């Protein structure tokens, strides 16, 4: 007789419940070999125990001893005395369980991704808002600290701002992560074009302040060197 033909849905359902999948820490090619070894070991143990019980009833036993062991060797008592251990598959799941777990992990990963984006978006918005609100000497001080932290890589300053909850320190930590190439901060700015433009404007302003400060320092140094040169010339003339 021909076998009953199964519909594609029935075949798929059988595949979900009957087929098994081994995880990455168990080789799919090694699993059948290990499974056969387990079955062999359990069967050998079962046969050994059976032989120990049945040895009492083997040919050669005396008639008087048969009556003594007759009650002990009933089928029910034999089954209770010799128990075959149950084989358990460790590290394997059905295909249906694998698909269900994979879909669950995908949903959890999508939720974590959204939460992570929201967290970094809020941090970027707070940092840019804090930096844009600075002015005057406070802005100049933050610009110099940013230069010390982001370009001179001062370890003590980096440790301090990473542990601080002050808004300015958090903004400086955002700047450090951004200049270090952190993808979270970069993507946060890319997701918000207006925020990216505001941050770019602040960076240009900060660069102008650094250039102005460096130019002032250079001018002061030149003036100092010029004054020292004049004093040396005056001393040389007076000594003559």
- List the domain range (segments joined by +) for residue 149: 136-239
Identify whether 206 is part of a domain: yes
Q: What is the pLDDT of residue 27?
A: 66
pLDDT tens digits, one per residue of 167-217 = 999 999 998 988 888 888 889 999 999 999 999 998 888 888 878 877 888
Identify whether 6 is part of a domain: no
| Cα gap 39→27, rounded to integer Å | 18
- The answer on 158 and 67 residing in a single domain is no
Identify whether 110 is part of a domain: no
- The answer on 220 and 166 residing in a single domain is yes
| Cα gap 172→156, rounded to integer Å | 13
At which of 56, 90, 124 does a domain end? 90
- The answer on 140 and 233 residing in a single domain is yes
pLDDT tens digits, one per residue of 38-91 = 888 888 888 887 777 666 555 555 544 544 454 555 555 555 666 777 777 766
At which of 33, 59, 90 does a domain end? 90
Q: Where are the alpha helices (DSSP H) in the chain?
A: 8-18, 31-54, 63-70, 75-81, 95-132, 136-150, 155-163, 167-179, 183-191, 193-239
Identify whether 46 is part of a domain: yes
| Cα gap 140→192, rounded to integer Å | 27
* Total tally of structural domains belonging to the chain: 2
Tokens of 185: 């901060």
């Amino acid at each position: 007789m021909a076998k009953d033909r199964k519909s594609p849905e029935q075949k798929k359902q059988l595949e979900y419940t009957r087929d098994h999948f081994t995880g990455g820490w168990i080789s799919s090619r090694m699993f059948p070999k290990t499974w056969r070894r387990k079955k062999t070991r359990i069967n050998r143990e079962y046969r050994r125990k059976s032989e120990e019980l049945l040895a009492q009833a083997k040919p050669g036993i005396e008639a008087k001893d048969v009556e003594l062991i007759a009650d002990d060797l009933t089928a029910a008592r034999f089954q209770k005395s010799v128990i075959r251990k149950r084989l358990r598959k460790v590290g394997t799941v059905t295909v249906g369980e694998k698909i269900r777990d994979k879909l669950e992990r995908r949903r959890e990963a999508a939720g974590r991704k959204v939460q992570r984006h929201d967290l970094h978006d809020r941090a970027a918005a707070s940092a840019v808002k804090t930096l844009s609100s600075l002015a005057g000497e406070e802005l100049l001080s933050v610009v110099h600290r940013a230069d010390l932290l982001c370009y001179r890589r001062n370890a003590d300053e980096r440790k301090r701002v990473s542990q601080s909850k002050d808004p300015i320190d958090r903004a400086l930590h955002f700047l450090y992560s951004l200049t270090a190439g952190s993808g979270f901060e970069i993507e946060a700015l890319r997701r918000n074009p207006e925020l990216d433009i505001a941050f770019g404007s602040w960076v240009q302003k900060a660069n102008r302040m650094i250039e102005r400060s460096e130019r002032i320092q250079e001018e002061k140094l030149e003036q100092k060197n010029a004054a020292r040169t004049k004093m040396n010339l005056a001393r040389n003339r007076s000594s003559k």
